[in-house]
Structure 1
């Protein structure tokens, strides 16, 4: 039996590693297209690009590994069934479960390794990619500017925010429709520069980058010490044909591309860090909601403060009855009727303005709280995904192995098609569920586990059918059930 286990395991491992290498190469090329704008034409060395790809590979494991397990299990058991090796096993009294024993042990071990990988390697890899892209942007100025949005451009001199409509030319050094917000030492944007075009000029031997702007306007808000002058909101405006900004990058040239920054996203955190942050984020969100609710209640004045507790309930009821009897105003109309017309208009306008102010505050706070809870849900989702990824490898094996035994087809034709269809179903269910979970439409734990849980009954069903040596689709028992129903009805009619 050890010889049989070694044979089955060796065939599976051959298909597993072959499929993994092929799929990882395909996903690498697909992923490079996502970052082609960050890498191409920026003057980066081969070593930096190789480091980027090296750090990028572990982030593909959550997609490649489940598909690899599914495809390799279908290929292995499909080839066994096609070559009648399973028939020989069954003739020797070896069941499908017994033949899968060595692979089950391997897949369980693979699940443990996958969890370790998802908990330790992938977060570190995500952090390395984030920091490498950020540090490349510091060293290569053109890479720091993104088309259509404001980009922070920090140097050793004064900082600024730059937005351009288009970058073109050699290493993207020519800029079109440039808008610059220059920052003061207090990080305040008092200066705005607009130009129709610009160019980044640098030299390998120089620590100065020149940003040459052409055909634009310079606006600066003037800060006066006199309060009367401040009320006039003075500013300076000037038109220029050419305006040059010198940026000292002497410190940036010594930038370490491997320098680690702060861990900012949920993908960069392991299980321990996620659990800690989930607890603190949940507590902080509740405090924000409670503080905002208390603020709105105080501004509305709709809920009066409870009267102080007295020793005698009888005295309290008498005081309450007396207060009610003295209060002749029961409705809003009674209040308005008791006022003069100008007072009535003033009260209504004040109430309208207060309501509009409160509604604007609620709407703006709602967006902030939605972002907070989206960030909170993303942490819960990432926590459960680490466990779900490990279990998905195990469950997809029990989907692929019996499916290969049922279809009885080896090679890269039909097994590849079936594996891709099943994986796309699994993957897209996970993507949609994850997006719904981040928005708070479903619980994040359900979003992380949904695709895996859907594959679980499929794996159980296929394993039972393969063990019983039944086909992929069996409608015989359904047809027999329908026939028995009609036969029963015909017997009833004949008896009548």
Structure 2
């Protein structure tokens, strides 16, 4: 490797890893904010929290890696152009293509590594992350009760003034309202000076022990009076069992997340897609056969005389021969049959659409592994020539351009994937939509930079617009002078 190639590669790699580390840390902090509800107040040790974030961090690679390549490219080539190093290279007969040669090889290697990581490491990490999150939520059912506020557990509202003890299992000043589910009225109040939570890690049942308390219950009477009777009793030890799994909606969310295609590699996705396609074709065939069978049965149940010669006649002429009650019955039966057919067709159509969306999600996940790898190349060929054009290094202007370009890329990518998953466009086009839109930008910037058009200033990019505005302004000024 020549000295120039080593110098360019070293400058880019240092900038790239610095930017990657900073952005990766920022995105992981954003993940902590998203899942703060799962982590806070769970009495988790440092190792458990570290493993949680460690399994979550690979999800950030598709976001951080392209942005890091883009920003590092703009900063590196912006520094070269700002310090007139490109001018020195050009005077020595070294073109921009020659200066980018070592970095192109590095980006290809980086794209291959990112593809391997997304295909092999990220799915396993996603699987462990989802299961670990489920364990954190459900091995601590006592956390369903928080101190200092009312906690809604179905028909119960519980407030605890303080939780203390080694595992926050001891309670002080417990107030409990029991809601009547028939009329949604609160007529039972339980108060206790102290309490204790008893749980089992393998069970969602929370056993609540209350000590030294009172039990109040209003009695409903037929007479309306300002003085309503009530029942009051004292207790030394009162035990309640609460199934907190009935009130925890996160399990349904986790089951939905765990069934996504993000936990599969390419071979598993291909096998799953093939199986889903075959199941969908078989279901469509079964539904078509069922519709034919229902039509045949409906026609076979229609009364007809085999000796009658059939003619084409109007329905009104047949109904004239029936009595009013018989007409009502015929119309009612026809409406019922039509509604039944419509209901079956709608349900079958919705079921097929859901299966198609499920297949589309797998196709998008498969294409996304290639898109992430190609996005590194795309961002490099946008950032490197753009940095040479704007002639600015550092974190100022390059950061502005990088954020604008990446936000555009990420928005189009998210929009395309959602549209493809909802069967609006094909999964291939939805997954590659952002790449197809930004690819002309990469080609344009690379062409201008390699042709020395705008390599010293961004004014050449704006020259057609400024020239058009100057021409319009001059024409308007001449017209005013002539008047």
Q: Identify the TM-score tier after normalising by the shorter chain.
A: 0.7 to 0.9
Does the Cα contact within 8 Å between 1:179 and 1:195 map onto a contact in 2? Answer: yes
Moved more, 359-368 or 94-103: 359-368
Pair 1:289 & 2:284 matched? yes
The equivalent of 2:85 in structure 1 is 85
Cα drift, residue 196 of structure 1: 8.2
SS at match of 2:125: helix
Cα drift, residue 272 of structure 1: 0.5
Cα drift, residue 456 of structure 1: 1.2
The equivalent of 1:72 in structure 2 is 72
Map 1:21-40 to 2 at 5 A: 21-40=21-40
- Structure 1 residues 358 and 11, CA, compared in 2 at 3 Å: closer, same or farther? same
Picking from 341, 361, 365, the partner of 2:344 is: 361
Moved more, 200-209 or 75-84: 200-209
The equivalent of 2:362 in structure 1 is 379
Pair 1:412 & 2:395 matched? yes
The equivalent of 1:434 in structure 2 is 417
TM-score (norm 2): 0.74
Cα drift, residue 391 of structure 1: 0.4
Does the Cα contact within 8 Å between 1:16 and 1:69 map onto a contact in 2? Answer: yes
- Structure 1 residues 133 and 363, CA, compared in 2 at 3 Å: closer, same or farther? same
- Structure 1 residues 403 and 196, CA, compared in 2 at 3 Å: closer, same or farther? farther
The equivalent of 2:381 in structure 1 is 398
- Structure 1 residues 277 and 204, CA, compared in 2 at 3 Å: closer, same or farther? closer
Cα drift, residue 423 of structure 1: 0.2
Does the Cα contact within 8 Å between 2:209 and 2:239 map onto a contact in 1? Answer: yes
The equivalent of 2:197 in structure 1 is 201
Map 1:229-248 to 2 at 5 A: 244-245=240-241
Give structure 2 stretches of 5+ with no counterpart. 147-152, 218-230, 244-256, 301-305, 472-483
Cα drift, residue 364 of structure 1: 3.7
How far apart, CA to CA, are the structure 2 residues paired with 1:113 and 1:376? 27
The equivalent of 1:326 in structure 2 is 309
Does the Cα contact within 8 Å between 1:115 and 1:389 map onto a contact in 2? Answer: yes
SS at match of 1:326: coil
How far apart, CA to CA, are the structure 1 residues paired with 2:73 and 2:58? 22
Cα drift, residue 444 of structure 1: 1.1
The equivalent of 2:207 in structure 1 is 210
How far apart, CA to CA, are the structure 2 residues paired with 1:202 and 1:408? 66
Pair 1:350 & 2:350 matched? no
Does the Cα contact within 8 Å between 1:136 and 1:143 map onto a contact in 2? Answer: no
SS at match of 1:277: helix
SS at match of 2:389: helix
The equivalent of 1:5 in structure 2 is 5
- Structure 1 residues 477 and 124, CA, compared in 2 at 3 Å: closer, same or farther? same
Does the Cα contact within 8 Å between 2:139 and 2:202 map onto a contact in 1? Answer: no
Map 1:19-168 to 2 at 5 A: 19-142=19-142
Once the two structures are superposed, what CA deviation does each residue of 1:229-266 show, in whole Å capped at 9, x if it has no partner?
xxxxxxxxxx999761278xxxxxxxxxxxxxx96320
Cα drift, residue 295 of structure 1: 2.5
Cα drift, residue 197 of structure 1: 8.9
Does the Cα contact within 8 Å between 1:163 and 1:180 map onto a contact in 2? Answer: no
The equivalent of 2:408 in structure 1 is 425
Pair 1:474 & 2:461 matched? yes
Cα drift, residue 413 of structure 1: 0.4
- Structure 1 residues 13 and 437, CA, compared in 2 at 3 Å: closer, same or farther? same
TM-score (norm 1): 0.72
Q: For this pair of structures, how many residues does the alignment match?
A: 407
SS at match of 2:461: coil
How far apart, CA to CA, are the structure 1 residues paired with 2:469 and 2:39? 64
The equivalent of 1:494 in structure 2 is none
Does the Cα contact within 8 Å between 1:200 and 1:209 map onto a contact in 2? Answer: no
Does the Cα contact within 8 Å between 2:416 and 2:431 map onto a contact in 1? Answer: yes
How far apart, CA to CA, are the structure 1 residues paired with 2:180 and 2:351? 27
- Structure 1 residues 483 and 210, CA, compared in 2 at 3 Å: closer, same or farther? closer
